[in-house]
Structure 1
């Protein structure tokens, strides 16, 4: 049996008749009624899901990281490689330093090496009542043992009632004679006080000393100093007789570094800063008794034996 057709019982709303054109324009157009039984869904744009948004953020983060890594890689590639220093570079740097800096002379370096060991020696003669100074002699000494053992000339301290030594740092103290070697005009002193950092002078044998070798004399000429003068060894195994005739010295080092009264007992030093002799006399045939170019020093071997030090 044929199925009867079904009809909707809803009626379409009657559209009102516009009375004028304005009203007609203002009136909204009525949408046609959907047919009953029309179940087709209307098309709607789907909203992006939260999962898609997370994936997008991760992708952009990864792109940013890759950009940073790429920039760093390019920066490393553009950075110049460290230059390797060669011997040629070192030589050039040394040459530039020598051209722009004036190094100290060999004589100045020798003085610096020996200066902490040089002392001023003053011998005082006191009147019979012990209250008045009636004379004094000024000379030089050199520390050869850091306990305060000092070498000087015997004629500087001979007959002194009181001996005072002044060290490089300014410390002034009394000293006593502990030994003497009259044949070489040498005296050994022991200082009663010593600086904490007192340094002994290095000593060097005279066996390889030759005329023409450069030397420096350090001392207190006329009490002024410490003073330094440079010269050369003029000769070896010289003899000297004092003007009064009461001193006869032999096997001396002759030198031409300027020395004067007050240098007696001071060190004669090679350019490597080692003591090779003790200045003891100057040749002064004139009444002025000043330096005319010839000085004498006792070889350090004799000086060391005065304090019982072994020979070189």
Structure 2
């Protein structure tokens, strides 16, 4: 335990100055038992009358020297500036904002979550559904290929069926994504932010929320999991950003706001209806599925799962949906809140 400081109860006092007259009276006489003072040389009589004592001249010189140093110190040392006022601080902040370009809140949030975002690719027999064909054309165009070019080859006898996004929630390589991103895939590969590519396996599913949990077989040494944030205090109008790989391009960032809460969505094929969704207007497209919807602190609020479009073009018209992170984390068997 740290001991408190101890202080003296009485202040230090300087000894009283000696009285020259008393000193002279106390000097014993060399004659007559102290009846007289010793003879004083003639040349020092004037000094004795003036009360001169040895060392006084030196002391006076030191006083003069100290006074000169104090007077010169005012010019040698810079004077203390005036105290800053709130007006001075506001003016400095305003000048900084006017002369320097600061990163946007979405840019800072995306940089925080970036190490936790992964690209998810499913390989297997090529699908012939309209949605699969649309995504294939989009991926080809994003790569600068003709829209109907053959899919990239994957493992022997397999082709790239779909591209999505995932987010690392445990540093052991546990990844959340959408079930429809990996459903039916014979091989799943994930690419981490540092470029490491690894095979992943499905370890858990939650079909009612279109969620899947992946386990990467190989992970980076310094893998950083995302921070998950409760949606209990989320409100319409709150700023959010979607991070992912639309049509395989990325990681891409789009910013917007929460448009609504507790929304429902039915897939275009009518096969499934999802409830309790977060509605947002940050741009999302095929390939964003499974990616994180984050707040401006880079914390994951939900998993992007669908976009609303009454046509078969599967393009974004301003309405996207995400599964709240409470449901997503429970799919991994570890509710965080």
Are residues 1:270 and 2:267 paired?
no
For 2:137, the equivalent position in structure 1 comes to: none
User: Which has the greater radius of gyration?
Assistant: 1
Q: Which residue is equivalent to 2:144?
A: none
Residue of structure 1 equivalent to 2:285: 260
SS of the equivalent of 1:176 reads strand
Q: CA deviation at 1:198?
A: 1.1
196 and 135 in structure 1: CA distance in 2 versus 1, 3 angstrom threshold: closer
CA distance in 2, matches of 1:233, 1:207: 13
Question: C-alpha displacement at 1:304, in angstroms?
Answer: 0.7
CA deviation vs aligned residue, 1:182-201 (integer Å, no higher than 9, x gap): 11000001111111221111
Are 2:120 and 1:121 aligned?
yes
The separation in 1 between residues aligned to 2:71 and 2:116, in whole angstroms, is: 64
Check if 1:174 corresponds to 2:199. yes
Partner residue, 1:190 = 215
Q: TM-score, normalised by structure 2?
A: 0.67
Whether the 8 Å contact between 2:121 and 2:160 is mirrored in structure 1 is no
Match among 122, 147, 151 for residue 172 of structure 2: 147
Write the deviation string for residues 107-155 of structure 1: whole angstroms up to 9, x where unpaired: 111111111111100010059xx73224411000001111111000000
Following superposition, the deviation at residue 78 of structure 1 comes to 2.5
Q: 1:241 aligns with which of 266, 282, 286?
A: 266
Q: In the alignment, which residue of structure 1 is the partner of 2:228?
A: 203
Partner of 1:81: 78
Q: Which runs of 5+ in 1 are unaligned?
A: 1-67
Once the two structures are TM-superposed, the CA of residue 308 in structure 1 deviates from its matched residue by 1.4
SS at match of 1:301: helix
Q: Give CA-to-partner distance per residue, 1:237-286, whole Å, 9 cap, x none.
A: 11111111112111111111110000000001111211111000111111
Shift of 1:70: 11
Pairwise CA distance, 1:86: 3.5
Instruction: Find the aligned partners of 1:232 and 1:84 in 2 and give their Cα distance.
Output: 46
Cα shift readout 1:220-251 (whole Å, capped 9, x = no counterpart): 00000000111111111111111111121111
The alpha carbon displacement at 1:301 in A equals 0.2
- RMSD of the alignment, in Å? 2.4
CA separation of 1:87/1:193 partners in 2, compared to 1, >3 Å: closer, same or farther?
Answer: farther
1:39 aligns to what? none
| 1:102 alignment partner in structure 2 | 101
**How far apart, CA to CA, are the structure 2 residues paired with 1:91 and 1:280?**
44
How far 1:208 moved relative to its partner? 0.7
Cα distance in structure 2, aligned partners of 1:231 and 1:112: 16
Cα distance between partner residues in 2 of 1:279 and 1:166:
18
Q: Deviation at 1:296?
A: 0.6
Answer yes or no: is 1:286 the counterpart of 2:311. yes
Would you say how many aligned residue pairs link Structure 1 and Structure 2?
A: 246
* TM-score normalised by structure 1 residue count: 0.72
Separation (CA, whole Å) in 1 of partners of 2:275 and 2:264 = 4
Unmatched runs of 5 consecutive residues or more in structure 2: 1-64, 127-154
Q: How does 1:24-103 map to 2 (within 5 A)?
A: 76-84=73-81, 86-88=83-85, 92-103=91-102
